[in-house]
Amino acid sequence: MSLVFHQSGDPASVLQWEPFAPQPPKVGEVQVRMLYAPINPADLNYIEGTYGKQPAFPAVPGNEGCGRIEAVGAGVERLSVGDVVIPTKALGCWSEQVTAPEYQWIRLPAEIDPIQASMLRVNPVTAWQMLHSFRELRPGDFVVQNAANSGVGRSVIQIAQHLGLRTINFIRRMELKNELLALGAHYIFPDSDEGLNAAKEAVPDANIQLALNAVGGDSALRQMELLTANGAQVTYGAMSRRSLKVPNKYLIFKNLELRGYWLTLWMDHAPVSELQKVLLPLAEMMRTGSLKLPVAKVYPIQEFASAILEAREDGRDGKIILKIA
């Protein structure tokens, strides 16, 4: 069985739980029994037809997930039956079984929590890549971010802590402050002009070379105010649905670099060896508990309509997860 949609539209309406007959894996392929998969905003946008990639119908959504190999084809060398794996690409994880080439799967430690593992490939990898790809940061350096309570934001806090970096975090819901401090956040402020002033007072001489922007609009401008000369702001989301309107002073007098990051683009072109260099350290952090993402609720996949409705709610603390097997 798979969740399938034959046209773009409201996910709760166009998705159908349909039977399919999985074929034995061909040469170089593995067949995976999917266990869990999260509902990400990108999944919903993909079904709605508003994502950066358009579906070819009939389509099975599910950008990430975790499963266990139940069959291997001839010529498979790296993976074995029983291995816990996650996909390196969006393979349609909202399905009981997924068959794909061996190189499109990464084996994880057998003892890893499969629910946590199902969330490994998107948010933690996005955080890791942004912390490593735009500026050469050293232990003690500062990173500023907004939407710090999001999945990426929480990953940034925990990975930065692991790397010895310090984070300045802006959030809308200050009741989450203690929760984020427990993850390793160093400074937390409300995402407002008052919060910006408080940050300036708390770290007046901080050399902030990297800002991670998931909001846009005025929130992004507040980050630019904190960045030091020649710093970089990396935009990976637009939660406010407001474009960046950059005052000239940030470009002329600070020489700020404005960049964008889309995980899918990197995943589509990175070789397996490069993917492993990122995913395996993150998997080890997840295995030991130094990287953990919150889960709001786990739904049986047959209850997908209710799961999607809850995934769309604001103020939710954690991911909605589909239990597939």
Q: Does 23 score more than 90 pLDDT? A: no
Give the chain's length: 325
Q: Does 240 score more than 90 pLDDT? A: no
Amino acid letter, 126: T
Q: Does 315 score more than 80 pLDDT? A: no
- The tokens of 46 are what? 């993909």
Q: Distance between CA atoms of 134 and 261, rounded to whole angstroms? A: 10
Helix count and strand count (H, E) for the chain:
12, 15
Question: Domains of the chain, with CATH numbers?
Answer: 2-119+293-323 (3.90.180.10), 123-263 (3.40.50.720)
pLDDT at position 268 is 85
Q: Distance between CA atoms of 207 and 221, rounded to whole angstroms? A: 17
Query: Roughly how many angstroms between the first and final C-alpha of the chain, as a whole number?
Result: 11
- The tokens of 118 are what? 């199902």
pLDDT > 70 fraction of the chain, expressed in percent and rounded: 100
Burial of residue 248 (CB within 10 Å: 0-12, 13-18, 19+) is exposed
Residue 51 — very low, low, confident or very high, per pLDDT cuts 50/70/90? confident
Q: Does 40 score more than 80 pLDDT? A: yes
What SS3 class is residue 153?
Answer: helix
Known catalytic residues? 51
pTM for the whole thing?
A: 0.92
Averaged pLDDT score across all residues of the chain: 95
Q: Tell me the pLDDT tens digit for each residue of 63-114.
A: 999 999 999 999 999 999 999 999 998 999 999 999 999 999 999 999 999 9
Strand spans (E) along 216-304: 232-235, 257-260, 295-300
pLDDT at position 86 is 97
Mean pLDDT of 268-277: 89
pLDDT at position 193 is 97
Q: Which residues contact 195 (CB under 8 A, 6 or more apart)?
A: 170, 189, 222
Q: Tell me the pLDDT tens digit for each residue of 169-222.
A: 999 999 999 999 999 999 999 999 999 999 999 999 899 999 999 999 999 999
Q: Distance between CA atoms of 118 and 66, rounded to whole angstroms? A: 4
Beta bridge partners of 145: 169, 212
Greatest distance between any 2 Cα atoms in the chain: 63
Q: Does 289 score more than 90 pLDDT? A: yes
Q: Distance between CA atoms of 273 and 103, rounded to whole angstroms? A: 10
Residue 45 — very low, low, confident or very high, per pLDDT cuts 50/70/90? very high
pLDDT at position 317 is 81
pLDDT at position 176 is 94
